[in-house]
């Protein structure tokens, strides 16, 4: 099972896990935001990463406008691309990480 989450990823999972990834990204003062597709695990947004993309946060961007931009610019193409790669057998383990061939 895979999930998409609106946050960049780090070694231990989502940089901003949980239901408010975009709000938490903005509150942190970060200059970049993103979305990540990962395998689901028992924890919250901490399963093995498959793919992630980031984008710069624009001046005066709020949670709604950034969320919409992440959905349109990243999630709407990243999630289907990962699903296609999984269906085609192109997602491969690389140590404790995964990559798309």
SS (H, E, C) 13-28: EECCCCCCHHHHHHHH
Number of domains in the chain: 1
Q: Which one of 5, 20, 38, 77 is the catalytic residue?
A: 5
Taking only the tens place, the pLDDT of each residue in 28-81 is 999 999 999 999 999 999 999 999 999 999 999 999 999 999 999 999 999 999
Respond yes or no: is residue 5 known to be catalytic. yes
Domain that holds residue 60: 2-100
CATH code, 70: 3.40.50.170
Residue 73 burial (CB count, 10 A): 14
pTM for this model (two decimals): 0.93
Residue whose tokens read 């349109």:
72
């Amino acid at each position: 099972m895979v999930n998409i989450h609106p946050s960049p990823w780090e070694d231990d999972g989502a940089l901003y896990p949980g239901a408010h990834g975009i709000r938490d990204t903005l509150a942190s003062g970060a200059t970049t935001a993103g979305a990540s597709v990962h395998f689901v695990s028992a924890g919250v947004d901490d399963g093995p990463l498959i793919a992630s993309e980031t984008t710069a946060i624009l001046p005066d961007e709020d949670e709604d406008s950034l969320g919409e931009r992440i959905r349109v610019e990243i999630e709407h193409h990243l999630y289907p691309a990962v699903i296609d790669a999984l269906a085609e057998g192109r997602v491969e383990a690389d140590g404790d990480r995964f990559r798309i061939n």
